[in-house]
Structure 1
Amino acid sequence: MSVPRLLLCGFGSFPEAPLNPSAAVVASLARDAWAPPGVEVDFLTLPVQWKGSVETILRQLQARPAEAVLVVGVAVEAEAFRIEHRGRNRAARERPDHAGRVWEQAFIDGAGAEELAATAPCAAMLAAIAAQGLPAVRSDDAGDYLCNFTLYRLLATGAAARVGFLHVPQARECAEGAAFSVDQIRQAVCAAATAFAGVLSRPAAEPHRA
């Protein structure tokens, strides 16, 4: 029996987060070859680009298929770790990506569903972070920038059987006055990924279309 594989992704820098803690944590886990018991993990840093983030994941999955994808992004103003429950078919036309390009329409896919439910074990991930003594909340709105864009497109394309998204707060090392250290963010990512890995042998639900 093959070992399940999880692809764990973080985002690179963008104007609001020149030192993105999601990329820093994913890179540190890659250096340590971290993985939950019984699961293999691949690691990837994504460009903050409208045409680039999802394509980077799809190329990786073509080379090394995985049963699950967990993307970690930063929510600069967040005061808790947010488990995203859905991707919405919308995009901020006025916000350029890290390459200076803009998305030219207010939706992601003109023929797509208004929203798609994440196929990750969201409740288990939330409980796992809370069990570490860290604040965690359910979120039904991943915004209208690259985080939501990436989540929605991964779900819409069926990139993997299970797809999830974790928003982490900004780190103290990256923004004066922020509430969390990089070590705490790493702790939360490990907890969420371990909870995610625990269900990879179970059948995934079909994405819910609203």
Structure 2
Amino acid sequence: MVKILISGFEPFGGDAVNPTGALMEALANEVIEGAELKTVLLPVHFDECADLLIAEMEAYRPDVVIACGLAKGRTCITPERIAVNVKDIPPGSYADNQGQRPVDEPIVDGSPDGLFSTLPIRAMVDDMSAAGISAAVSNTAGTYICNNTMYRVLDYIRIGQLPIRAGFVHFPASTEMAVLQPSVPSLPIPMMLDALRIMIRTVVADS
């Protein structure tokens, strides 16, 4: 049995919903062969988000961590290749949910400039695509909360030399969000949930 810890985020940036929060609710009662699942909802706040996820890792001791977040404007589901050691909010972009706007700050002083996902991201994309779900590997997780979370988790694993595979997946806006923002690309929650199920099965098969 592969123990998998999966995280999503609360709403941010003025939106009333975050599809990854809905995905965590939907996964709460999921049964996937070969997997033991635990979900956690994270705050959209620099550092606190990763602190909470790492605390859950210490308590649950997972084999795999799949962190999930919203990338409004993307057209498909995108497993991330790399996280970079910087938190930076450009002018005009949203602050985190506590109003913080870091600029050009390292996430962890003295740690590597970048850390790669250890999830089977290419196989995840291939399996989603084979199921008719639009997906692609992404080469940038940005410099906001999602990148911050991915980097801190991977660095925690690196420092502790832990046998945990981890990475991050960005999801587009949900159809519910697009009702109020018709120009924003979106996918329905049921399709995103199917994609998450597929990625979990891919990880189990690769373990």
How high is the TM-score relative to the length of structure 2?
0.88
2:6 counterpart residue number: 8
Per-residue deviation, 1:25: 1.1
- Matched residue, 1:162: 165
**Equivalent of residue 41 in structure 2, options 45, 49, 68:** 45
- Structure 2: distance between partners of 1:35 and 1:57: 22
Residues 150, 160 of structure 1: alpha-carbon distance in 2 compared, 3 angstrom cutoff: farther
* Cα pair 1:50 1:102 within 8 Å, conserved: no
* Structure with the largest fraction of helix: 2
Report the CA distance between 1:74 and its aligned residue: 0.8
Moved more, 173-182 or 184-193: 173-182
User: What count of residue pairs does the alignment treat as equivalent?
Assistant: 196
CA contact (8 A) 1:69 1:160 kept: no
Say if 1:85 and 1:138, in contact at 8 Å, map to a contact too: yes
- Mark the runs of 5 or more structure 1 residues left unpaired by the alignment: 201-210
Name the CA distance, whole Å, in 2 between partners of 1:85 and 1:59: 24
Identity %: 25
| 1:89 is the counterpart of 2:88 | no
Distance 1:145 1:16 in 2: 16
Of the three residues 63, 66, 74, the one matched with 1:67 is 63
RMSD between aligned residues: 1.7
Deviant stretches of 4+, over 4 Å: none
CA deviation map 1:91-144 (0-9, x unaligned): 114552112223364321231211111011111111121122011111110011
Question: Any gaps of 5 or more consecutive residues in structure 2?
Answer: none
Over residues 61-105 of structure 1, what are the superposed CA-to-partner deviations in whole Å (9 max), with x where a residue is unaligned?
222110110011111000111110111112114552112223364
Q: Please name the residue that 1:189 is paired with.
A: 196
Counterpart of 1:107?
A: 106
Residue 186 of structure 2 aligns to a residue in which SS?
coil
- Residue from 26, 29, 34 that aligns with 2:27: 29
Residue 175 of structure 2 aligns with an amino acid whose one-letter code is R
Gap change, CA 1:35 and 1:17, over 3 Å in 2: farther
Q: Which amino acid aligns with 1:72?
A: C
1:171 to 174, 177, 198: 174
So what's the TM-score if we normalise by structure 1? Answer: 0.87
CA contact (8 A) 1:66 1:160 kept: no
